[in-house]
Amino acid sequence: MKTTLYYFTATGNCLDVARNIQKTVGDTDLLSIPPLVRQTSIVPETNCIGLVFPVYDYGVPLVVREFLDKLDVTNVAYVFAVITCNFLPGLALERVDELLKKKGKKLNSGFIIRMPGNYIVMYGANPGWMQRYKFNRGKKKVIKIAEFVNNRKDYGVEKSRAFIDRVLAPKMEKYIAEFNTRDEKFWIDERCNGCGICQKVCAFDNIRIVDGKPQWQHQCQQCFGCIHLCPKAAVQIGKSTEKKKRYRNPSVTLQDIIKSSG
């Protein structure tokens, strides 16, 4: 009983979680979402599929919505999703369930895993002790997830206990649609040496290197990969990032993320 696990990651958390699920569930293919959405339709080769993606603004990243739009679920019998977030999962799992219901299916099992946050406009990398705490809890949760997936059992949609999620999600989700042009505030400081890593990690072909420096093309999804993964920490947004510590999941390499971007 093979499983296909689709993931989207910018700073490695979702790839780390997806690999842990792959190891625990067994017989699972991992596929990165952004290269797949360049196709007109996505037809899974297995009847059990899973998604792992980060919560953005209490909701579902644009690329994951596009993926779900293009996903052909005709022969799919079991769908599970695992969202990673810093703390507040919003209504992301509920939205996946709604999108699947429009296609005549449902989210059989939806789980929340808290991982180190990468929303650098508000905070820098979580301190080491907090990262370790979240990784350990995440690994334990994967064992529970595998039990449900391996037995194709319905867990239902895990709900956030925070009232704030229900209040803020409907307001905040609207901003996701405006992400494309938010890169107008991105700039590089004098440490940029034109290495081009920002361009390579961008899964949305949103960065061109012109005269040895990056230029953003306004098809941004605000994943912040270019900011966190710049080896010189030279990519900034307005005035909010200069002093903040960057983050990459320690189990995931830069090459892994470049490969995932397609």
118 lies in the site for ligand FMN, by CB under 6 A: yes
Q: Give whole-number Cα distances, 144 to 89, 153, 242, in Å.
A: 19, 11, 39
93 lies in the site for ligand FMN, by CB under 6 A: no
Indicate which single residue of 3, 5, 13, 94 sits in contact with ligand FMN (rule: CB under 6 A): 13
Residue in the block written with tokens 């999108």: 99
Nearer to ligand FMN, 90 or 214 (CB): 90
Dist CA 50 CA 30 (whole Å): 9
Nearer to ligand FMN, 48 or 201 (CB): 201
User: Other CB atoms closer than 10 Å to residue 121's CB: what's the count?
Assistant: 14
Residue in the block written with tokens 């901003």: 175
The CB-of-88 to ligand FMN minimum distance in angstroms stands at 4
Dist CA 7 CA 31 (whole Å): 6
57 lies in the site for ligand FMN, by CB under 6 A: yes
138 lies in the site for ligand FMN, by CB under 6 A: no
With contacts defined by CB under 6 A, how many residues of the chain interact with ligand FMN? 25
186 lies in the site for ligand FMN, by CB under 6 A: no
One-letter amino acid at 171 equals K
100 lies in the site for ligand FMN, by CB under 6 A: no
> Cβ distance 11 to 247 under 8 Å?
yes
User: Other CB atoms closer than 10 Å to residue 235's CB: what's the count?
Assistant: 26
Nearer to ligand FMN, 20 or 222 (CB): 222
6 lies in the site for ligand FMN, by CB under 6 A: no
| Burial zone of 190 (CB within 10 Å; 0-12 exposed, 13-18 middle, 19+ buried) | exposed
206 lies in the site for ligand FMN, by CB under 6 A: no
261 lies in the site for ligand FMN, by CB under 6 A: no
Indicate which single residue of 6, 28, 56, 256 sits in contact with ligand FMN (rule: CB under 6 A): 56
Dist CA 135 CA 190 (whole Å): 35
> Cβ distance 147 to 25 under 8 Å?
no
125 lies in the site for ligand FMN, by CB under 6 A: no
**Which chain residues interact with ligand FMN by CB under 6 A?**
9-14, 54-58, 84-88, 90, 115, 117-119, 222-224, 249
